[in-house]
Amino acid sequence: MFLIHYPNGKKAAPRPSLPPKPQIKTEYGKRGMTLEEDLNQSNEVYLAKGMAVIHKKPTPVQIVSVDYPKRSAAVIKEAYFKTASTTDYNGVYKGRYIDFEAKETKNKNSFPLKNFHSHQICHMESVQKQGGIAFVILRFSEDNETYLLDASYLFPYFSTSYDGRKSIPREEIALLGTLLPLSYSPRIHYLEAVDELYFP
């Protein structure tokens, strides 16, 4: 707990609300990189070591207008973000197709599923039907715990008959998923969990 000593010698009461933004940034810096940065670093390590070929897909963008100035690179002047129809990461590991989506939450007790689009869920279902490996990597960023969870656990939440809460309790993730320890290089060695789950 961060306490302020006032001139009167008394300790201030603990702050009741969220700390101001700059403090969040500092705290964040201590904890390290975002999940995306961790995964990109890990995928680079895997590629360099010949362990797997897994890339993040580019952000899908609808390009509306492009300038072609003489003697310099084309400049996109107007474009819009499009909803992704697939997941962000895919590639090949030991001959198998690997496909996953990665998300972070600041929630402590459950993982909200509103950040997953129904297209992405459909996509992961199709991938599994086609014999591919599909999972999600979920991070609770407040205490930096990261889990790998087979995608099939999400499907019931997106079925047309389901109208309950779209979030998975943390205990369920801890029970059904695999905790991914952080290390130096690769930052998240998620292929260990993939080996355990899909190459027994």
Find the part of the chain contacting its own copies (CB under 8 A) among 5-13, 16-24, 120-128, 137-145: 120-128
Stretch that binds its own copies, among 6-14, 121-129, 160-168, 176-184 (CB under 8 A): 121-129
Q: Which is nearer to its own copies, 3 or 64 (CB)?
A: 64
Q: Does 47 bind its own copies (CB under 8 A)?
A: yes
* DSSP state string for the chain: ----B-TTSPBPPPP-SPPPHHHHHHHHHHH---HHHHHHHHHHHHHHTTS-EEEEPPPPEEEEEEE--TTS--EEEEEEE---SS-SEEEEETTEEEEEEEEEE--SSEEE-TTS-HHHHHHHHHHHHTT-EEEEEEEETTTTEEEEEEGGGTGGGGSTT--S-SEEEHHHHHHHSEE--B-SSSSB-HHHHHHHHH--
- Selected from 42, 43, 90, 146, the binder of its own copies by CB under 8 A is 90
The answer to whether the annotation marks 128 as part of a ligand binding site is no
Per CB under 8 A, which of residues 48..87 are in contact with its own copies? 50, 52-53, 55, 57-61, 63, 73-82, 85-86
Q: Does residue 23 belong to the site contacting its own copies (CB under 8 A)?
A: no
42 is a site residue for its own copies (CB under 8 A): no
Residue 132 in the binding site for its own copies (CB under 8 A): yes
CB of 48 to its own copies, least distance (A): 10
- What DSSP string runs through 118-167? HHHHHHHHHHHHTT-EEEEEEEETTTTEEEEEEGGGTGGGGSTT--S-SE
Asked whether position 94 contacts its own copies by CB under 8 A, the answer is yes
Residue 176, interface with its own copies (CB under 8 A)?
no
Q: Cite the annotated binding site for Mg(2+) by residue number.
A: 86, 88, 101, 120
Q: Which residues bind its own copies (CB under 8 A)?
A: 47, 50, 52-53, 55, 57-61, 63, 73-82, 85-86, 90-99, 123, 126-127, 129-132
